[in-house]
């Protein structure tokens, strides 16, 4: 039989009950010897734990593997949409139409998490039991929960119906990666070796609820053509030699048969004819630049009677009088529309997007419950560099960071900045390059101070307010009489990475811009707690401070400090001078300390905040600074200061929740949405506000 037909039949029959042994993918056959030595050629269904000493002697280290404790949490690696398959060394798998789920195994205890960290173990008891039966001591596994339709093709609606009806026994868990196994962190191991290890583990699995996601040896063009003819969603490509990164990367790519993505559900229309419940769903997407939610057309096909009834029950409680989109349809198109709060997320396939941003020939595939609807934008394909990123055994130095236009040379790229995480100078530079689109708007035109760590964060730190003796390319220097010394401004990626090259870790900014340095355009309240206080005290303090600001009529935007506290940023129109703004922020702090003296202190110093939280208003004086949003802190683990929604405060686990290695997943999900309205906010300090705080006019 033609080999193309064989592979296509394997695709078509992917959901069939597996044979007792899972076929090992062609791309990892060369690694069979290594994998069998490390994990055992034949595994019984219940893998027995060998003595630690024996395992150490018999298990050669795979390149990049290291002993480590089982992580409490692990975010999945996400794929980037591309228009066509790049050249180079890649492996290709089916793109499953299901729910992404991470499995954590710890001495028989199995937990299943969605890509956003929600525990779904109770929804998938059979799959958890099957994973426990693998007999692994500890592991993190990555895969997709899938249900096939009558044609043997993944069906998202069928999956959703299985969850809704409690029929999880029909859900198959397709496993495709193994970031951690039995006390060994495999994230730095090349993807083909991680998958070979996973295939070996699943060899003896006879439970039909667990399957290995196979790779195909045909060309990606031929595979995609076959997948599309079979009404599959597409392919996932993985660059050989690449590590496992908990964020969206270009080492994992997705090729789709049709344009398909998530949309916010912003309304619905009345049913017509024989249709029941509703006619069509109105869709919305957030604008990439402004963050505004914009109307993106309707979807009226892809529903069956059961789906219509189930959806209608979810839609009715969300009805609202006003549209949530800034450009609602008008005239005949708006007739019979019921507007909704935009909290539901619909997966929709469509032929094309019109010039005005509306979908054509849209087909509904299901509601997503594993992703937030807060910041859904149009997914646009990108181009992936064709050069392979095979791991080098010895890193080259010096190295360079690419910035799209030009490069910055990084000397001593392997110098470890933080011993606790092993993060190097080069990795820090790559972090700042990757978040340039978010941090540069926060730095723009603001005087900046640098915290430099030439010997790493454990060594001596230098707080530098001017560029004297620092050869930073692209940096702007303003020689202003206002401060009596030159002022640095970082307005471009070249200067940003140049600062890292000069050993910068932290970036702190003024509360004014070069447009008018005499008048602040914001003030900051820094909640600085006694280190002995529990985190719940910080949550309560943040809520109380927000309540006071709300009563004054001032809108605040929040961010984690990256350390112990929370920063509340209050934008202002440029009207008042430094002294007026500082005095006003001092009055707020004094007011709160007077109302709740057992919780708040208006006086700085460790002695004055014992058992309390000092609300630092001193950052609002001329020349004072606050760590910039998205900047790294010189603390263990290199945490990052991250903007947050005020509704998220109660969910936070600490002010250092995100670091240079984990913040990308956060940005991929919400982008700059928490602060999207900051620059648009127009407010000022009024006489009435002063009166309420007991200030003299």
Residue 36's pLDDT is: 33
pLDDT over 50 at 620, yes or no: yes
Query: Backbone phi, then psi, for 348, in 5-degree steps?
Result: -135, 135
Whether 16 contacts 178, CB under 8 Å: no
Please give the Cα distance from 381 to 429 (Å, whole number): 26
Tokens 């062609």: give the residue: 26
Residue 421's pLDDT is: 87
Question: For residue 604, what pLDDT band results from cuts at 50, 70 and 90?
Answer: confident
Residue 473's pLDDT is: 84
Residue 87's pLDDT is: 82
Whether 364 contacts 315, CB under 8 Å: no
Which stretch, 350-354, 389-393, 398-402, has highest mean pLDDT? 350-354
Nearest to 113 by CA among 638, 665, 556: 665
pLDDT over 80 at 83, yes or no: no
Tokens 């708006």: give the residue: 334
Give the pLDDT mean for 142-161: 82
Q: How do the residues of the chain divide into helix, strand and coil, expressed in percent and rounded to 5? A: 25, 25, 45
Whether 135 contacts 391, CB under 8 Å: no
Report the mean per-residue pLDDT for the chain.
83
pLDDT over 80 at 395, yes or no: no
Residue 45's pLDDT is: 32
Residue 596's pLDDT is: 93
Whether 482 contacts 518, CB under 8 Å: yes
Q: Please identify every residue annotated as catalytic.
A: 95
Residue 31's pLDDT is: 30
Question: For residue 520, what pLDDT band results from cuts at 50, 70 and 90?
Answer: very high
Assign 138 to helix, strand or coil. strand
Least confident of 149-158, 343-352, 657-666: 149-158
pLDDT in tens, 203-229: 889 899 999 999 987 888 888 888 877
pLDDT in tens, 1-16: 344 444 445 454 543 3
How many beta carbons lie within 10 A of that of residue 365, not counting itself?
21
Question: For residue 20, what pLDDT band results from cuts at 50, 70 and 90?
Answer: very low
Give the pLDDT mean for 506-532: 94
pLDDT over 80 at 623, yes or no: yes
Domains of the chain with bracketed CATH = 3-70+97-213 (3.30.470.30), 259-368 (2.40.50.140), 399-509 (3.90.920.10), 522-692 (3.90.920.10)
- Tally of CA atoms within 13 A in the half-sphere of 287 that contains its CB: 13
Give the pLDDT mean for 650-665: 89
pLDDT in tens, 350-386: 877 777 788 877 888 888 776 666 657 776 665 554 4
Could you tell me what percent of the chain has a pLDDT over 70?
85
Pairwise pLDDT comparison (691 vs 387), residue with the higher score: 691
DSSP 59-94: -PPPTT-EE-PPPS--PPPEEEEBSS--SSSEEEEE
Contacts 24+ apart (CB under 8 A), 108-116: 108/132, 113/73, 114/369, 114/370, 115/75, 115/76, 115/78, 115/370, 115/371, 116/370, 116/371, 116/372, 116/669
pLDDT over 70 at 419, yes or no: yes
Segments of 374-470 assigned E as strands: 399-402, 407-410, 416-418, 423-424, 448-452, 462-464
Greatest Cα pair distance in the chain:
91
Residue 526's pLDDT is: 96
pLDDT in tens, 241-257: 999 998 888 899 988 87
Identify the burial level of 299 via C-beta atoms within 10 angstroms of its C-beta, where 0-12 means exposed, 13-18 middle and 19 or more buried: buried
């Amino acid at each position: 039989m033609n080999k193309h037909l064989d592979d296509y039949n394997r695709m078509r029959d992917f959901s069939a009950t597996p044979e007792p042994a899972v076929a090992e993918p062609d791309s990892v056959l060369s690694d069979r010897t290594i994998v069998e030595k490390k994990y055992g050629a034949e595994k019984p269904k219940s893998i027995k734990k060998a003595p630690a000493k024996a395992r150490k002697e018999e298990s050669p280290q795979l390149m990049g593997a290291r002993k480590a404790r089982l992580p409490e949490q692990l975010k999945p690696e996400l794929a980037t949409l591309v228009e066509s398959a790049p050249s180079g060394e890649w492996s290709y798998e089916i793109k499953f139409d299901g729910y992404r789920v991470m499995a954590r195994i710890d001495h028989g205890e199995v937990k299943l998490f969605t890509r956003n960290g929600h525990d779904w173990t109770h929804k998938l008891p059979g799959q958890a039991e099957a994973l426990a039966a693998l007999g692994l001591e500890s592991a993190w596994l990555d895969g997709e929960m899938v249900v096939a339709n009558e044609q043997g093709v993944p069906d998202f609606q069928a999956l959703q119906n299985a969850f809704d009806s409690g029929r999880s026994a029909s859900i198959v868990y397709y496993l495709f990666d193994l970031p951690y196994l039995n006390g060994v962190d495999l994230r730095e191991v090349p993807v083909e070796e991680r998958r070979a290890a996973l295939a070996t583990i699943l060899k003896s699995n006879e439970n039909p609820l667990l399957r290995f996601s196979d790779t195909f040896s045909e060309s990606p063009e031929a595979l995609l053509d076959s997948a599309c003819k079979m009404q599959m969603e597409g392919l996932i490509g993985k660059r050989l030699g690449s590590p496992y990164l908990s964020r969206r990367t270009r080492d994992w790519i997705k090729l789709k048969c049709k344009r398909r993505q998530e949309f916010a559900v912003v309304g619905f229309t009345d049913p017509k004819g024989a249709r029941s419940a509703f006619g069509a769903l109105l869709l919305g997407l957030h604008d990439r630049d402004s963050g505004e939610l914009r109307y993106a057309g309707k979807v009226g096909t892809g529903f069956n009677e059961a789906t219509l009834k189930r959806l209608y029950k979810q839609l009715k409680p969300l009805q609202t009088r006003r549209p949530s989109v800034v450009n609602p349809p008008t005239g005949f198109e708006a007739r019979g529309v019921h507007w909704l709060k935009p909290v539901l997320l619909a997966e929709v396939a469509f032929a094309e997007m019109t010039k005005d941003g509306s979908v054509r020939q849209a087909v509904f595939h299901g509601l997503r419950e594993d992703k937030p609807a807060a910041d859904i934008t149009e997914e646009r394909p990108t181009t992936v560099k064709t050069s392979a990123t095979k791991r080098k055994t010895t890193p080259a130095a010096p190295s360079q960071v690419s910035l799209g236009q030009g490069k910055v040379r990084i000397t001593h790229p392997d110098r470890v900045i933080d011993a606790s995480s092993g993060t190097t100078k080069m990795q820090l530079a790559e972090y700042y390059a990757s978040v340039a689109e978010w941090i540069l708007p926060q730095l723009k035109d603001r005087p900046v101070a640098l915290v430099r760590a030439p010997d790493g964060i454990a060594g001596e730190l230098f707080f530098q307010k001017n560029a004297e003796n620092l050869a930073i390319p692209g940096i702007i220097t303003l020689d202003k009489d206002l401060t009596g010394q030159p002022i640095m401004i970082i307005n471009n990626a070249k200067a940003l990475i140049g600062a890292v090259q000069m050993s910068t870790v932290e970036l702190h900014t003024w509360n004014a811009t070069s447009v008018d340095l005499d008048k602040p355009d914001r003030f900051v309240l820094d909640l600085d707690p006694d280190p002995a206080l529990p985190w719940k005290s910080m949550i309560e303090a943040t809520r109380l401070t927000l309540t006071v600001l709300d009563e004054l009529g001032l809108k605040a935007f929040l961010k984690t400090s990256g350390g112990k506290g929370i920063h509340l940023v209050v934008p202002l129109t440029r009207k008042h001078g430094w002294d007026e703004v500082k005095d006003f922020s001092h009055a707020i702090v004094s007011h709160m300390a007077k109302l709740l003296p057992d919780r708040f202190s208006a006086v700085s110093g460790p002695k004055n905040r014992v058992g309390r939280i000092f609300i630092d208003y001193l950052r609002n004086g001329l020349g004072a600074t606050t760590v910039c949003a998205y900047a790294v802190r010189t603390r263990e683990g290199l945490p990052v200061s991250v903007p947050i929604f005020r509704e998220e405060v109660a969910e936070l686990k600490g002010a250092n929740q995100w670091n240079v290695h984990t913040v990308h997943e956060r940005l991929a999900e919400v982008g700059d949405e928490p602060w999207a309205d900051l620059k648009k906010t127009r407010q000022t300090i009024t006489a009435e506000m002063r009166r309420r705080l007991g200030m003299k006019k």
